[in-house]
Structure 1
Amino acid sequence: MKRGSTLFLKTAVILIGIPILALCIFFVPGIANYAAELYPDMPYINELVLIDVYAAVIPFYFALYQAFKLLSYIDKHEAFSELSVKALKNIKFCAITISTLYVAGMPLFYLIAERDDAPGLIVLGMIIIFASLVIAVFAALLQKLLENAIDIKSENDLTV
């Protein structure tokens, strides 16, 4: 595979991470403060929103790192290796973790959307959940295909 195509994908991985970092720095604290203003009788809602979103960002960046490593393995012609399978497995678990964290945080999103009369917030949470699940299923499928390809490759190496 040409290095240019993986360079493009590595750049895309980096460019995906930058806006999420900007959202976490500038947008998420505002949402948490807004939630605290909506529910002044619940002083802990600010921290819950911050914990939920920032806890989901950690596996997101770990998954981006694993995708970057996977692209590096492709560059080194080690795509059909156990390291690639492990990277896909980590990406799958990160996607499941993100989805689980947002499912756990949906009551918070519901409270904010209910008081603010903004159903789009619930839809946004559902999009994140389902996108993470799609990524998890896709990574699991690729992991299984790669394991099968490695098995076939090792059988062919033993035959020759």
Structure 2
Amino acid sequence: MTREKRHRSPHLAPVVTAAICATAFATSAAANDSNWTGPYIGGNIGWVLDGPEDGLGKSLHLGYNRQMNNTVIGLELEHSRTDIGTSAGPIDKVYRLKTRAGYAEDQMFYYGVVGLARMEGFFGQEEAYVVGLGVEYDLQNDFSIGTEFLYHGISDFNDSGESLGINTLTVRATWNF
């Protein structure tokens, strides 16, 4: 059975990201200081920007942040359903454990990501490291929106001796409680 390549619009991701950031910055003039401490849960939609083949993903994430002055650190667990194509078959699921650390000012939270991922598909499973950057905007009603860029690196994909790198961009919506 051959897999047909479906047309996707990865170029839509920067447009959606720009719209979210523009909305956040436009409304931050009336911003109150936000407190990012506490548990959260949410979802996101993401696109593969630079990988073996186009892909689209949807995820659920949950985590906990701790804010000390303007510094925020946190831990997040994320589960993604994807259709990222590779030479060994599609990556169907991605599980990520990420540490987030960054700077909060007014309603904005700018952060870096370091973590581990497990990718599963027809080929079996592979472990990867994850690094990235993100930004979130607190809408002041226990709800935040944001975007996150992640790089996934696999040093020996499918025991081939070859490296595999996948860049993703996601748009996130999160309920903070």
Give the TM-score normalised by the residue count of structure 1. 0.31
> Higher strand proportion, which one?
2
> Higher helix proportion, which one?
1
Give the TM-score normalised by the residue count of structure 2. 0.29
- Whichever of the two has the greater Rg, that structure is 1
